[in-house]
Structure 1
Amino acid sequence: MNTDNTSLKLEKKFKEAEDFLPLLGTDFVELYVGNAKQAAYYYQHAWGFQPVAYSGLETGRKESVSYVLQQGKIRLVLTSPLQPEGDINAHIDKHGDGVKFIALWVDDARKSYEETTKRGAKSYVEPYIMEDENGKAVISGIHTYGETIHLFVERNEYEGPFLPGYRVWNANVETKDVGLRYIDHMVGNVGWNEMNKWVDFYAKVMGFAQLVSFDDKDISTDYTALMSKVMSNGNGRIKFPINEPAEGKKKSQIEEYIDFYNGAGVQHIALATNNIVETVTALRDRGVEFLYVPETYYETVLDRVGEIDEDLAPLQELGILVDRDDEGYLLQIFTKPVLDRPTMFFEIIQRKGAQSFGKGNFKALFEAIEREQDLRGTLN
């Protein structure tokens, strides 16, 4: 585990952010899932995540079981219930598999809780200490959109594999990682006219700054539209775009998400790589499905974005999108939903200087999503 105290080393990139916490990075993302053992197998073998820790009956935990996997700085926790009824079952019944906790790594979980709750955050859990033979950690938490929770994790006095109550998980089969490095951003979908409410929440309650705003003129096709604003903490390690539906001729992807998730929640997690061609090739070879991009996209992409380091042919063959801003360019691609419900998916992103989010690709991306919606019969 990385237990060093790094807050003093972090440069503040976005001066508009009040940044009073501060946040050191994403500690982990925890999903409630119907079958954690099988979900862990999927993320190991399809995505190349490595087994880290386990908690369940063998560790004295009677109500639920959790598997912890990691790749680069990305840590996933997959949790399933062991008993009928209860909060985990209710969450899965209502939402399907989905993100429950976005845990943020902090120096001081008590101060993070105090600073956010006094600014209006609804308490999820007051600060408490978890402790075992490997040391102690302090956890606290607040509510955010839907049933999503932000946990504050203070772990600079803990040396174990994950958190107290977990033991090292040694899987019988080794899998090779695919080059994923860290979480670039996580996108939340909220309901009609709720975007600004949650933008204000991140600004006032958590000290974030708004980086960019997209309206229905930026993000629309002939049929559907949405609006989005991107919030970031001061050092730029935590970025949360917030989407809401906009009026269109047909049902947008945000409306489809809200319908099937039964409320607001995490739409997608963007994972960064240093070589998107190698990463996507490995993922595709292991069965991960990506959205289809028509070949016509590549006929004009270099006219729009200019010269890039990569050959266009492998990008076209894999369906990787390209966009440029004033600071450089980026390459990105989106999976199909990774769950049976058309809710959560992943983005793979490689930044070559660009700090934006692929505005030039929105039309092609949304048309690709609409094709999938049409196949599911949820576009009308």
Structure 2
Amino acid sequence: MSTLDNTSLKLPKENPGAEDFLPLLGTDYVELYVGNAKQAAHYYISAWGFQPLAYAGLETGLKDRVSYVLQQDKIRLVLTSPLKSGGPINKHIDAHGDGVKVIALWVDDATHSYNETTARGAKAYMKPNRVKDENGEVVFSGIHTYGETVHVFVERTNYQGVFLPGYVKWDPRYKAPSVGLKYIDHMVGNVGWNEMDKWCKFYEEVMGFAQLISFDDKDISTEYTALMSKVMSNGNGRIKFPINEPAEGRKKSQIEEYIEFYNGAGVQHIALATDNIIETVTALRNRGVEFLTVPPSYYEDVLDRVGEIDENLAPLKELSILIDRDEEGYLLQIFTKPILDRPTMFIEIIQRKGAKSFGKGNFKALFEAIEREQESRGTL
């Protein structure tokens, strides 16, 4: 049974500017198209502490694809690979490499969500579709967003199965302990030159989001590269989508590198929340996950900038965890190196101690760390 409650929630409004006419109750799952779902699942179990949940493939009647579903607290990943040559999944992987195809959003009414968004200009991806099995029924619908990324609306109020109709419980012998990841804090999309405002307008007008914060090239720049970003959020604050675009710089920015290797717009990173970032990152490093590092000098004056924190500075310095503060509190964050062969998608680990922001004070140190990696790849 899912850890998401299958009941309608009256959630408090955190983003007063959002119309929130859908409304959205949370992220249901994130589906990645990958070249080898079985091996990718082993990686996310072994390195990231996800637990096996469900499976669909030849044994369940699928002929063209196989999917493994993994879960850690409220985070669900679906890893999908094609079983035959040709077809849309193959084309997606050929164009983009492994990457996020579906950001599925949990809703009370998938038909209403489809009607509201398509009436406001969204391009239809999936008309409302009711799917049943012995455990109940789920209603799906979907719309296109930036690049080839899609949002699927999932209405699961009347479903009691392990994941979705067509999936069976997946319970292999091997499981690795959780690393303490709790939920998806935000998901970042990279779009092309001068496309940020277009897609922010899409989320505002089509989905009822409002802008939380914006960063221009003065905020997010180094000696060599720059980008711009705006953070869009729904009304209850459970869904946050920062949208990045390149900005003029002396050398090629990380956004340009992403778009070159991903072959267009797509999901750049998924930020996963934890209640103890030191324990989580220590466990991940011990399992082979590689993180960006910052020079020791970052920590010489960081407490002068952010003030008093609950944690000891020494383990944060040892792990290269970044610290920032806003009016509400502070946050701790760290970013992996790309987790795929192409320098595209990565993961952020974040622990919020009251802060609602996204680490603006860390941008320079972070981007310099990314540039060092770009230089080693010869793509700066």
Fold similarity call, TM over 0.5: yes
- Residues 186-225 of structure 1 correspond to what in structure 2 (within 5 A)? 186-225=187-226
How many angstroms does 1:6 deviate by? 4.3
* SS class of match (1:16): coil
Query: Is 1:3–1:157's contact at 8 Å kept on the other side of the alignment?
Result: no
Query: Is 2:7–2:157's contact at 8 Å kept on the other side of the alignment?
Result: no
Query: Is 1:190–1:265's contact at 8 Å kept on the other side of the alignment?
Result: yes
Q: Output one character per residue of 1:294-316: Cα deviation in whole Å (capped at 9) or x when no partner.
A: 10000010010000000000000
Query: Is 2:193–2:247's contact at 8 Å kept on the other side of the alignment?
Result: yes
Distance 1:130 1:65 in 2: 18
Matched letter for residue 313 of structure 1: A
Residue 278 of structure 2 corresponds to 277
User: Does 1:134 pair with 2:132?
Assistant: no
Residue 185 of structure 1 corresponds to 186
Matched letter for residue 213 of structure 2: V
Q: Output one character per residue of 1:275-327: Cα deviation in whole Å (capped at 9) or x when no partner.
A: 00000000000000000111000001001000000000000000000000000
- Residues 57-96 of structure 1 correspond to what in structure 2 (within 5 A)? 57-96=58-97
Matched letter for residue 260 of structure 2: D
Distance 1:293 1:2 in 2: 36
Matched letter for residue 187 of structure 1: V
* SS class of match (2:24): coil
How many angstroms does 1:171 deviate by? 1.2
User: Does 1:266 pair with 2:267?
Assistant: yes
- Residues 124-163 of structure 1 correspond to what in structure 2 (within 5 A)? 124-163=125-164
- Residues 271-350 of structure 1 correspond to what in structure 2 (within 5 A)? 271-350=272-351
User: Does 1:370 pair with 2:374?
Assistant: no
Q: What is the number of equivalent residue pairs in this alignment?
A: 379
Runs of 4+ in structure 1 deviating by more than 3 angstroms, as ranges, are 2-8
How many angstroms does 1:3 deviate by? 6.1
* SS class of match (1:271): strand
Query: Is 1:53–1:68's contact at 8 Å kept on the other side of the alignment?
Result: yes
Distance 1:136 1:319 in 2: 46
Matched letter for residue 26 of structure 1: T
User: Does 1:239 pair with 2:240?
Assistant: yes
Query: Is 1:257–1:267's contact at 8 Å kept on the other side of the alignment?
Result: yes
How many angstroms does 1:4 deviate by? 3.9
How many angstroms does 1:174 deviate by? 2.0
How many angstroms does 1:369 deviate by? 0.1
Query: Is 2:3–2:73's contact at 8 Å kept on the other side of the alignment?
Result: no
Distance 2:94 2:206 in 1: 30
Q: Output one character per residue of 1:104-153: Cα deviation in whole Å (capped at 9) or x when no partner.
A: 00000000000000000000010001111111000000000000000000
Where does structure 2 lack aligned partners over 5 or more consecutive residues?
A: none
* SS class of match (2:255): helix
Distance 1:338 1:171 in 2: 24
Query: Is 2:6–2:156's contact at 8 Å kept on the other side of the alignment?
Result: no
Distance 1:268 1:172 in 2: 30
Matched letter for residue 170 of structure 1: D
Q: Output one character per residue of 1:52-90: Cα deviation in whole Å (capped at 9) or x when no partner.
A: 000000101010000000001000000000000000000
RMSD of aligned Cα (Å): 0.7
Residue 171 of structure 1 corresponds to 172
Where does structure 1 lack aligned partners over 5 or more consecutive residues?
A: none
Distance 1:174 1:357 in 2: 33
Matched letter for residue 296 of structure 2: E
Query: Is 1:53–1:162's contact at 8 Å kept on the other side of the alignment?
Result: yes
Query: Is 1:232–1:240's contact at 8 Å kept on the other side of the alignment?
Result: yes
Distance 1:9 1:112 in 2: 17
Q: Output one character per residue of 1:143-178: Cα deviation in whole Å (capped at 9) or x when no partner.
A: 000000000000010111100000000111121000
Matched letter for residue 134 of structure 2: E
Distance 1:213 1:4 in 2: 33
Distance 1:7 1:292 in 2: 42
Percent identity of paired positions between Structure 1 and Structure 2: 78
Residue 110 of structure 2 corresponds to 109
**TM-score by structure 2 length?**
0.99
Query: Is 2:9–2:25's contact at 8 Å kept on the other side of the alignment?
Result: no
Cα 1:2/1:248, change in 2 over 3 Å: same
Q: Output one character per residue of 1:353-375: Cα deviation in whole Å (capped at 9) or x when no partner.
A: 00000000000000000000000
* SS class of match (2:237): coil
Q: Output one character per residue of 1:180-211: Cα deviation in whole Å (capped at 9) or x when no partner.
A: 00000000000000000000000000000100
How many angstroms does 1:9 deviate by? 2.6
Distance 2:61 2:7 in 1: 33
Distance 1:210 1:288 in 2: 33
User: Does 1:20 pair with 2:6?
Assistant: no
How many angstroms does 1:7 deviate by? 3.8
How many angstroms does 1:15 deviate by? 1.0
